[in-house]
Structure 1
Amino acid sequence: MILCLLAGLLAGCQQAPLPTPDTPVSSEAQGAFGQTERAFVELSIGTNEQVLKLLENGGPAEMVAHRREELERLRAVLDVPYVNNHVGHDMPGMPTDAEIQLAATDPQARDQFVRAHLTESLKVLENARVDLKHPPTVEIVELMERHRTAELAAR
């Protein structure tokens, strides 16, 4: 579902007609921070905040450090005040409050939710890599991909 949501957001932001040689190129097409990047960053911040709650009770320290680093970089690139538009959403890869509560007492459930986060995040990142044009945001995507790939391999 998170993949569909982001794909819809990304696709919806990319529906402008292709420029002709005499059409001025938008700043987003030139690599500026645009609506597509903003949607990705806001979704990633919301997801990482929930994952940190999930990891508070026994999650791998390296994964906690990775999510904090990502949050710092994501917030730094965001060009408007952050508003969590995903509060209460039940999307694959973004742990819900109920899942976080269950994970606090059930290590197997936590492991299951962490794995879901990693696999779904990689799908979202794969799509983001295609659609994002802003170099600092693309660098964050690459960092997140490295983190997710290593974390999944360690499981």
Structure 2
Amino acid sequence: MTVLLLAGLLAACQQAPPAPPPTTTSAPTSAQNGYGATERAFVELAIATDEQALRLVQLTDRPELAQNRSTELVELRKLLDGPFVNNHGGHDMPGMPTDAEIELAAKDGDALRQFVHAHLTESLEVLRSAGSAITHPPTAAVVDLMERHRTAELAAG
């Protein structure tokens, strides 16, 4: 189910993630270490989403939201097996605030609350789906961290 969700999100973007860079040593490849296409697709999607969400949550009076997105971005970038390529820039996807939503939220408190809530609930759904498909332990740990963040943030209001 999660693989289908991630594949659907990537298909909605009409772009596939780039192939990992070729390995020049005899060390095990990323896929042999459990970090495969599903994990890379999730990491790229989560970075793109968190970068947009950071712009949104910085407009709130809840500094923990921005701190959590910043922490997640650091952890997500550690998982990359090559340079980050934002295949999702400008797309309207679950959990990812659009530029237009961020602009409106900057002017309208009700819109800000609505868009922050949508980011939290929609990204939590994506995280729960990803959690069942991610097999790479370090990536699964970041998924778990992000899920804990969203759950606590929603509980705090």
- TM tier, smaller: 0.7 to 0.9
Q: Equivalents in 1 of 2:102, 2:117: separation in Å?
A: 14
Equivalent in the alignment of 1:51: 53
Quote the sequence identity (%). Answer: 61
Equivalent in the alignment of 2:143: 141
The unaligned stretches of length 5 or more in structure 2 are 11-28
Name the TM-score, length of structure 2 as normaliser: 0.80
Q: 4+ runs of 1 displaced by more than 4 Å?
A: none
Equivalent in the alignment of 2:114: 112
Q: Which letter does structure 2 place at the counterpart of 1:68?
A: S
Deviates more, 1:135-144 or 1:88-97: 88-97
Do the aligned residues in 2 keep the contact of 1:128 with 1:141 (CA within 8 Å)? yes
Give the C-alpha shift of residue 57 in structure 1.
2.1
Q: Equivalents in 1 of 2:140, 2:72: separation in Å?
A: 12
Q: Equivalents in 2 of 1:121, 1:131: separation in Å?
A: 15
Do the aligned residues in 1 keep the contact of 2:6 with 2:38 (CA within 8 Å)? no
| Pick aligned residue for 1:91 from 71, 90, 93 | 93
Q: In the comparison of the two structures, how many residue pairs are matched?
A: 137
Pairing of 1:24-39 with structure 2 (within 5 A): 28=31, 32-39=34-41
Do the aligned residues in 2 keep the contact of 1:7 with 1:127 (CA within 8 Å)? no
What RMSD in Å do the two structures reach over aligned CA positions?
Answer: 2.1
